[in-house]
A and B are shown apart, each in its own frame.
Chain A
Amino acid sequence: MALEDYKRDMDMCIRCSVCKFIPLEMIKGYQHVNVCPSITKYNFHSYSGGGRVNMAVAMLDKRIQYTPKLLEIIYNCQMCGACDISCKDVMDMEVLEQLNELRIKCVEDGYTVPVLDRVMSNLRKHGTMMSGEKFKHGQWAEGIDVKNFTKEKSGVIYHAGCRMSSGKTLWRVARATVILLQKAGVDLGIAQEHESCCGGRAYQMGYKEDFLRQAKHNMERFRKSGATILVTGCSDCYHAFKVLYDKFGMRGDLEVLHTTEFLDRLIKADKIKPTNELPTRVTYHDPCHLGRLGERYIHWEGKEVPGHIRIFDPPKEYRRGTYGIYEPPRDILKSIPGLKLVEMDRTKEYAWCCGAGGGVKETNPEFALWAAKERIDEAEATGAEAIVTACPGCEQSLKDAIKDNRSLLKVYDIVELLDKATLRGGH
């Protein structure tokens, strides 16, 4: 659906400001009521989900034209979907879909941000959106005996993702994942140097065609492998494979699992046994694309039923974050002996974003850092010694903030902790 197809939804915006806050039922105090990094930092209403929707109506009505400020507002958004979820606590309307379409319209109209154009150029040339340091996909797996699914059949694909593959400090997570899965008897394969970007972030940035090209390319390779399950530890990739590929009818029967879902299953099936004590107090950061945005895509086609109350035929089910992946990572943490999980004020469907999403890390790194610092402050307030997450993007963003804040908080990917709890010495 194009932006104009959402016009009726946009008209439903009542400017109530609910999109700016966590669901009102869940407010626990003065602190941590804000849910949208963008409006929290920039304050003008336009930087909220509702404000952007209002602006989009003005664009469609041709009241406003493209200006640098308009683009700055559109792109200073992590596309974290928090506004969408809060709005859907009180309204039946899409917000994030509109914000995505707004970006797609900008790209189609030729109004883009130069730094993102460079990122996309890298994707087109090298199959990755990571720029700067040169890296080779699959290098992280050197020395591990794991199948190459592009050469031999494997039941399960492990996709490390560009961020995990490009950051040497993150390689240990990918390596530990593979070893844990193999020890649990999983028939695993990786693409090694043939791994290519999922394209999810391209879509979030508005480059729909680039996303579709990546999706097509990846799915061809996945189909050939004969695998029925794809596992990834990157929440952006997870969302792309599970939700976006499905949205565009490309996923087929491939089951997409986040490593936390898969590992949780294996723990519950007694195939992985965390036995080592980790006497530590941790808090868990829900990645947006695993949590509220990680629920399945709901295909729907229909029309509004004539009448006053806005209902549809067939009934439309909204994605409200209800079925995001919240419990598997928590269950893994709870399965580790000695580890104590304490929750932050903003969790699950109303978790605060790590700041890195939607191209903000590239277009406005200061803003990304600011948002991550806010999360670190919140984590510190729990008294936790470490913040645990399940996405290399979040991990990197939180680490950047810790460094900048001179915080003593440690950051772990959940796999690292499970690895420590499972095998002496880890990997």
Chain B
Amino acid sequence: MPLDRGIYRAFEDVVGVENISEDTAILDSYAWCGLVVAARKPITPEDEKKEGLLRYPFAPRAEAIILPGSTAEVQAVVRLCNRYRIKFKAFSTGWIGGNVPATPGVILLDLRRMNRILEINEKNMYAVVEPYVITGQLHAELMKKGLVHNMLSAGAQTSALPMAAFQGTGHLSQTTSNGERNVLAVEWVTPEGEIVRLGALGSSGEWFCGDGPGPSLRGIIRGITTPQGGLGVYTKAAMKLYHWPVPSTFRIEGVLPHYTPSEIPPDVMIRYFSFPSYEKMDEAQRKIGENETVFALMGFPISMVASNLAGSNQEDVELFARLRGMVQGPGFLVVVAGASQREFEFKRRVLEKIIDETDGRSLEYLDDPKNSGPLLWRTLRPSGDAKTICRATGYFGSIFPGHSQFLPITKHTQQVMNWKAEELIPKGLVLDDGGCAFPWTEEHGWFAHAEAFFRFSGTPESIKAVQQTVGRAWKLHLQNPVGVPFDAVGDQLHDLMGPSASNYHVWLRKIKKAFDPNGTSDSARYITARE
């Protein structure tokens, strides 16, 4: 149903005629969500009976696309949505399906025009950004000042705004932890159109703290798995900064796809270690975390190292065949960096001892700087993630048991990967990438992120197999909860998971009801106020 002309003109008056459209050509380009994630989860017996689990790459069309250019415009649009009872959903760079409406009747706010870095405060070590500042931009500016922020492994093309993050975890999480730990003050347009300034911003106009002096609503605005457009619009936010132990200039040479650093700085090192068993790998990761030994740690199985290094799928196939014979089992990638040679040497020696104690083996292929240089840079600036995840097959599915204690979630993920290795790969239902899990520690080794990762070609059989495995993983999770999975979005999944996790879903509903009484902020990937 097209918007009423009067309402459309009211939106137009706010953002200008050039920043709103309801043309079907524009709407359909926004409706495309690709073939990335096996979205539906056959968890309940009713789900399993349903036909048509296949996913059509187009989501429901939005009613209109609006490009607000400022907080004031966002506020005005949101107020109009409330006045006319129209659902809205805002997104920043918009990757992986979370940016599309799940139902018709929603207008989309593409925050692309809000793209300024507002402040880099070196003294107090925070940066303030708008939603469409991309990670690559902020990283490049921060490097010049010897600083770095928590960068998402979704890639340098995605938003740097911490509240835009689905989970906010990445290559540097060993040092910087995850999204929720990095949010300082936030400017928030509530679902009713009020502008709320959280943390220090609420009382002083400063951005240095998320918890005050001023209202601390960090937990409320984030929820358990972030509202993903279901609780208003985050228009500005500050995030913590950290010391960048790598030189401030990192010269990259070559022409695509062979970008490589001109040299590897003296106090920086990248290594890949493989282990004879998951137990040994887990032990190594825990010790590395406890000893604060590395700057970056990414739980890549060797197949993902191959995908990151390769310039094409053809190279990927050949390189993976070579590298898988050079590893002894599961593994991970680390970057060691020191602010001084002494610090670097100390860390390097500690790492060597840990690897020795855990029977780890360093991948010789990376001893050659020609091989390791590009991987180092694409780890320090997360710029190879789209290809690592998606180039091989176009489709991927991932099972995230959620942020929680390291061992329980890695055990869960490893179990799922055993299903993949023993059942899916032999039947040719997913890509044979060695079937290894994808975990990494955070916060001194006790906390972690883990994924069970599937790449597959998108045949009906492969989609069905992955969806069934996702459903099976959820059931395992419900029997033995180890955290709230990141893909817990929408009423059904929150209602399933809530009772196993302090009934968080009851609180989410209360929050939704209190802040969004008209239900205008699209709840499809959050929760509705419905009891």
Contact = CB atoms under 8 A, between A and B. Distances in A.
Interface of A: 11-18, 20-21, 23-30, 33, 42-46, 51-52, 54-55, 57-58, 61, 63-65, 67, 69-70, 73, 85, 88-92, 307-312, 315-318, 320-322, 324, 326, 348-350
Contacts of B35: 11-12, 14
A392 B139 CA distance: 37
A197 B498 CA distance: 69
Interface in B71-100: 93-95
Contact of B457 (A17, A45, A92, A308): A308
A55 B158 CA distance: 22
A45 B95 CA distance: 12
A423 to B, nearest CB: 34
B155 A64 contact: no
B51 interface: no
Contact of B23 (A14, A70, A85): A70
Contacts of A54: 28-29, 31-32
Contacts of A307: 428, 457
A124 to B, nearest CB: 30
Contacts of B137: 27, 29-30, 33
A25 B393 CA distance: 23
Interface in B151-169: 155-158
B314 interface: yes
Contacts of A46: 25-26, 29-30
Interface stretch (B187-195, B255-263, B438-446, B504-512): B255-263
A24 B136 contact: yes
B257 A11 contact: no
B292 interface: no
Nearest to A92: B313
Contacts of A45: 26, 29-30, 65, 94, 110
Contacts of A88: 256-257
Contacts of A349: 255-256
Contacts of A311: 313-314, 317
Question: Which of B28, B381, B384 is most buried by chain A, counting CB atoms within 10 A of its CB?
Answer: B28
Nearest to A66: B25
A29 B36 CA distance: 30
22 contacts: A14-B95, A14-B386, A15-B95, A16-B155, A16-B390, A24-B157, A25-B377, A26-B252, A28-B140, A29-B141, A30-B140, A30-B141, A44-B67, A57-B32, A67-B25, A73-B26, A89-B257, A89-B387, A92-B312, A307-B428, A309-B457, A310-B313
Given A11-B35, A92-B391, A322-B258, A52 B23 contact: no
Closest 5 CB pairs of A and B: A24-B383, A54-B32, A58-B28, A308-B431, A46-B29
B378 A25 contact: yes
Contacts of A43: 19, 67, 110, 112-113
Given A25-B259, A29-B140, A55-B25, 11 more contacts: A14-B36, A16-B95, A25-B378, A26-B259, A29-B144, A44-B29, A89-B387, A308-B431, A318-B312, A324-B255, A349-B255
Contacts of B384: 90
Given A27-B137, A30-B137, A18 B313 contact: no
A18 B255 contact: no
A89 B29 contact: no
A90 B391 contact: yes
B26 A25 contact: no
A320 B393 contact: no
Nearest to B383: A24
Contact of A30 (B21, B26, B117): B117
B296 to A, nearest CB: 16
B94 A17 contact: yes
A61 B23 CA distance: 17
A178 to B, nearest CB: 32
Interface in B28-59: 28-36, 57-58
A320 B311 CA distance: 10
Interface string B1-42: 000000000000000001101011110111111111000000
Contacts of B26: 44-46, 69, 73
Q: Which of A63, A317, A324 is the most central at the interface, judged by chain B CB atoms within 10 Å of its CB? A: A63
A31 B26 CA distance: 27
A15 to B, nearest CB: 5
Most chain B CB within 10 A, of A42, A91, A321, is at A91
Contacts of A315: 314
B63 interface: no
Contacts of A350: 256
B286 interface: no
A24 to B, nearest CB: 4
A65 B24 CA distance: 8
A16 B386 contact: yes
A27 B391 CA distance: 21
Contacts of A85: 256
Contacts of B386: 14, 16, 18, 90-91
A400 to B, nearest CB: 23
Contacts of A58: 24-25, 28-29, 31-32, 58
A364 B326 CA distance: 56
Contacts of B139: 27
Given A11-B35, A308-B456, A348 B255 contact: yes
Contact of B57 (A29, A57, A316): A57
A56 to B, nearest CB: 9
